[in-house]
Chain A
């Protein structure tokens, strides 16, 4: 260990210092107008400038020190003896153990939280963390069919989520249909939209497909905003019927859930039911995907991702294969949308911006495209990680009372997207297990997995 330290020569240190100085200069140049001078409207609504040099000093010192430490560490690691890690054979028992443990943890989560924090304290944890993360897990798994398995880059996935949400909102408020009837209808409608939109665009490839799907996503959002007769515009649709326990409403009334089961009424019952509902929906998505991958259609998706030309040469109808992936992904987004509407009992177009699509896509790519476990992991890290920033109140003691960590949520989210991509361009779980194998099932390194161009 000491040898490595000594080997860190003077030139390397000088180099690191020079780089740190350069970083300091660049940071100063970048931050000078933006951070130092803040535009403020004064009392007479005139624009004025406030000076704020401390931010510049913090940014310059922070980034140059980070650069210096980074370079020193890099140098240190370059000296460490390194062996290429062989790709381990898959361990089916381990994978099985992990998934069983995950399932138990998932189903025990609300009960454990409830036992420790009581009904009022646990509401936030089950709702903001449990339900919120599971919605993204489900959306991530749904988009994974399109992006990870079939290799079609879809930047407008949130459009189908919106279709599902509005389908439930409109059907239930206008026709009084129950959630359990609307859920399949929402999925069906979203899948229909998937086919309708997919049909013309699926002959495009790569980035072009991404951009067209983005355009469709935005068009649907703009229509939701502007078609006020049906959608009530930006104000959205409120007082959507709440979820019932298969007919029993979660109210304090005599025919309510609590009274029927002789429990004390608490709003937590509904949240816990929503938690289990979304958990089941997400697991259904996962289960169907895992089964489909073993069917001819699933194999066709993966083949399409690996090599579209070869697929066509083998006589696959690529448009139809792509359409099934697109429609199925859309259907799961529709289910998730209906769930979203029943959970919020309010929908408006603000929930379906491009940022949502980008977040879901980021979850799929960061998790490692095609890996179900990776997607779930990425959803927990990205959504849970940004949610947890709301909790860091102790930072106020360090940075002052006006410091609000939640404000930096999306800033850190954006930085994390860049950082994870640079650290692991193939996502958190980048190896694949083959769905077909000879003699022994071995992991496939990321560099051998195609990403699809469609």
Chain B
């Protein structure tokens, strides 16, 4: 029981991070039907930026108030990562809109190679070990069990929940969210009704990057190590989450992220940690083969 509850907490923490990244994949796929391969590297970039901002705030400005630092790092990383993804969309994807299907995919793979190598060159290939940001453990146990929850885990879940709430509000209640959903359903009709499709797509990339940046900040705090090659595996897993939840469906992405996080931690705890990535990839393959529309997605109808 101890192990189970402990792994549940760990899995939900990891799953929150996957879920935040998965939203970026699913939104972009929903609106322009493209697998944004560079998204995992945008996430890695944001984790690196978060670490740099954190170091800059503590070293050069001498800030010591943790909540203030956290909020500044979070907002700063979201803004800069948003700008990065906006530029990437502008440079690498927008010229290819309406072109043939493989072109944006290759362009995205190129972007992904570019980003990870850029970070490798400008920041060096070694692991960057962040200083301990937040320490502190809680013990609690229903019915005699002993489960350890770190302050970091609580922070991650709280931040994820509140930002998902904010994101949900944006998509459901604001004009931007309506425009986004309209573009996802039918771009031409949306354009006829006066929606600036290009601008909406740009903003989609910015929002996706901002959520990936949140994931990046939390990843940096949770693991304390950032490396230029950290983008690929979390990226593919977040994509798996998006597919598992039903690509194009926003609640599906979060649900899929949590499930992948849970499956991975439970697999590592009860079976073998060597094969935990194999488990994630197998789920991806099995979902796609037997349930291509995912848990909450709409089936793709082919019209002749």
Contact of B80 among A32, A210, A415 (CB under 8 A): A32
In the bound assembly, the distance between CA atoms of A397 and B104 in angstroms comes to 38
Chain A CB within 8 A of B185 CB: no
Report yes or no: A47 in contact with B55, Cβ–Cβ below 8 A. Answer: yes
Interface hit among B166-174, B211-219, B279-287: B279-287
Q: Which residues of B contact A (CB under 8 A)?
A: 29, 33-35, 45, 48-49, 51-53, 55-56, 59-60, 76, 80, 83-84, 87, 91-92, 95-96, 99-107, 109-115, 117-119, 121-124, 126, 128-131, 232, 236, 239-240, 243, 274-275, 277-278, 281-282, 284-285, 288-289, 292, 302, 304
State how many angstroms separate the Cβ of A407 from the closest Cβ of chain B.
Answer: 6
Interface size on A, residues (CB 8 A): 62
Chain B CB within 8 A of A425 CB: yes
Q: Closest A residue to B111 by CB, please name it.
A: A418
Given the known inter-chain contacts A34-B123, A38-B123, A358-B113, please indicate yes or no for A212 contacting B95, CB distance below 8 A: no
Given the known inter-chain contacts A38-B123, A425-B103, please indicate yes or no for A362 contacting B110, CB distance below 8 A: yes
Report yes or no: B96 in contact with A421, Cβ–Cβ below 8 A. Answer: yes
Chain B CB within 8 A of A411 CB: yes
For the complex of A and B, the 3 pairs showing the least CB-CB separation, nearest first, are: A417-B110, A414-B114, A414-B113
State how many angstroms separate the Cβ of B112 from the closest Cβ of chain A.
Answer: 7
Report yes or no: A29 in contact with B83, Cβ–Cβ below 8 A. Answer: yes
Report yes or no: B232 in contact with A211, Cβ–Cβ below 8 A. Answer: no
Given the known inter-chain contacts A37-B52, A41-B129, A47-B129, please indicate yes or no for A222 contacting B278, CB distance below 8 A: yes
Complex interface: chain B residues within 8 A of A39 (CB) = 48, 51-52, 55, 123-124, 128
Report yes or no: A49 in contact with B102, Cβ–Cβ below 8 A. Answer: no
Of the candidates B76, B105, B113, B304, the one having the most CB atoms from chain A within 10 angstroms of its own CB is B113
Q: Closest B residue to A357 by CB, please name it.
A: B109
Contact of B107 among A26, A218, A355, A418 (CB under 8 A): A418
Which chain A residues numbered 15 to 64 have a C-beta less than 8 Å away from chain B? Answer: 26, 29-30, 32-35, 37-41, 45-49, 55
Report yes or no: A408 in contact with B110, Cβ–Cβ below 8 A. Answer: no
Of the candidates A37, A153, A206, A426, the one having the most CB atoms from chain B within 10 angstroms of its own CB is A37
Report yes or no: B96 in contact with A37, Cβ–Cβ below 8 A. Answer: no
Given the known inter-chain contacts A34-B119, A204-B289, please indicate yes or no for A421 contacting B281, CB distance below 8 A: no
Complex interface: chain A residues within 8 A of B112 (CB) = 414
Contact of A34 among B49, B91, B99, B104 (CB under 8 A): B49
Which chain A residues numbered 394 to 411 have a C-beta less than 8 Å away from chain B? Answer: 407-408, 410-411
State how many angstroms separate the Cβ of A325 from the closest Cβ of chain B.
Answer: 16
Report yes or no: A218 in contact with B277, Cβ–Cβ below 8 A. Answer: yes
| 13 residue pairs bridging A and B, Cβ less than 8 Å apart | A29-B83, A34-B123, A39-B52, A47-B130, A55-B122, A201-B288, A201-B289, A207-B105, A208-B288, A212-B289, A219-B285, A361-B109, A408-B117
Given the known inter-chain contacts A37-B52, A37-B56, please indicate yes or no for A410 contacting B106, CB distance below 8 A: no
Chain B CB within 8 A of A365 CB: yes
State how many angstroms separate the Cβ of A424 from the closest Cβ of chain B.
Answer: 9
State how many angstroms separate the Cβ of B191 from the closest Cβ of chain A.
Answer: 22
Given the known inter-chain contacts A413-B113, A414-B111, A414-B117, please indicate yes or no for A47 contacting B128, CB distance below 8 A: yes
Chain B CB within 8 A of A226 CB: yes
Secondary structure call for the A interface: helix
Complex interface: chain B residues within 8 A of A426 (CB) = 100, 103
Report yes or no: A418 in contact with B122, Cβ–Cβ below 8 A. Answer: no
In the bound assembly, the distance between CA atoms of A214 and B288 in angstroms comes to 12
Chain B CB within 8 A of A117 CB: no
Chain B CB within 8 A of A216 CB: yes
Given contact pairs A211-B243, A417-B107, enumerate 4 new A-B contacts (beta carbons under 8 Å).
Answer: A29-B80, A33-B56, A33-B80, A408-B121
Contact of A451 among B83, B102, B240, B292 (CB under 8 A): B102
Given the known inter-chain contacts A47-B129, A206-B101, A417-B113, please indicate yes or no for A216 contacting B121, CB distance below 8 A: no
Chain B CB within 8 A of A416 CB: yes
Q: Closest B residue to A310 by CB, please name it.
A: B304
State how many angstroms separate the Cβ of A145 from the closest Cβ of chain B.
Answer: 16
State how many angstroms separate the Cβ of A174 from the closest Cβ of chain B.
Answer: 23
In the bound assembly, the distance between CA atoms of A49 and B105 in angstroms comes to 36
In the bound assembly, the distance between CA atoms of A214 and B105 in angstroms comes to 13
Complex interface: chain B residues within 8 A of A108 (CB) = none
State how many angstroms separate the Cβ of A368 from the closest Cβ of chain B.
Answer: 11
In the bound assembly, the distance between CA atoms of A35 and B105 in angstroms comes to 27
Chain B CB within 8 A of A200 CB: yes
Give A301-342 as 1s and 0s: 1 = Cβ < 8 Å from B's Cβ atoms.
000000001000000000000000000000000000000000
Report yes or no: A33 in contact with B49, Cβ–Cβ below 8 A. Answer: yes
Complex interface: chain A residues within 8 A of B107 (CB) = 417-418, 421-422
Complex interface: chain A residues within 8 A of B60 (CB) = 49
Chain B CB within 8 A of A195 CB: no
Given the known inter-chain contacts A26-B83, A33-B49, A222-B275, please indicate yes or no for A212 contacting B106, CB distance below 8 A: no
Q: Closest A residue to B110 by CB, please name it.
A: A417
Report yes or no: A214 in contact with B122, Cβ–Cβ below 8 A. Answer: no
Q: Closest B residue to A59 by CB, please name it.
A: B122
Contact of B100 among A41, A222, A226, A451 (CB under 8 A): A451
Complex interface: chain A residues within 8 A of B91 (CB) = 418
Q: Closest B residue to A446 by CB, please name it.
A: B100
Chain B CB within 8 A of A253 CB: no
State how many angstroms separate the Cβ of B190 from the closest Cβ of chain A.
Answer: 22
In the bound assembly, the distance between CA atoms of A422 and B239 in angstroms comes to 25
Contact of A212 among B124, B275, B288 (CB under 8 A): B288
Report yes or no: B110 in contact with A418, Cβ–Cβ below 8 A. Answer: yes
In the bound assembly, the distance between CA atoms of A204 and B247 in angstroms comes to 15
Chain B CB within 8 A of A354 CB: yes
Which chain A residues numbered 247 to 301 have a C-beta less than 8 Å away from chain B? Answer: none
Chain B CB within 8 A of A103 CB: no
In the bound assembly, the distance between CA atoms of A153 and B102 in angstroms comes to 9
Report yes or no: A40 in contact with B106, Cβ–Cβ below 8 A. Answer: no
State how many angstroms separate the Cβ of B96 from the closest Cβ of chain A.
Answer: 6
Q: Closest B residue to A423 by CB, please name it.
A: B95
Complex interface: chain A residues within 8 A of B275 (CB) = 222, 226
Chain B CB within 8 A of A223 CB: yes
Report yes or no: B124 in contact with A38, Cβ–Cβ below 8 A. Answer: yes
Q: Closest B residue to A29 by CB, please name it.
A: B83
Contact of B284 among A30, A40, A212, A415 (CB under 8 A): A212
In the bound assembly, the distance between CA atoms of A424 and B166 in angstroms comes to 41
Of the candidates B45, B49, B110, the one having the most CB atoms from chain A within 10 angstroms of its own CB is B110
In the bound assembly, the distance between CA atoms of A210 and B101 in angstroms comes to 12
Report yes or no: B285 in contact with A201, Cβ–Cβ below 8 A. Answer: yes
Report yes or no: A41 in contact with B109, Cβ–Cβ below 8 A. Answer: no
Given the known inter-chain contacts A208-B292, A211-B239, A365-B102, please indicate yes or no for A49 contacting B59, CB distance below 8 A: yes
Complex interface: chain A residues within 8 A of B126 (CB) = 41
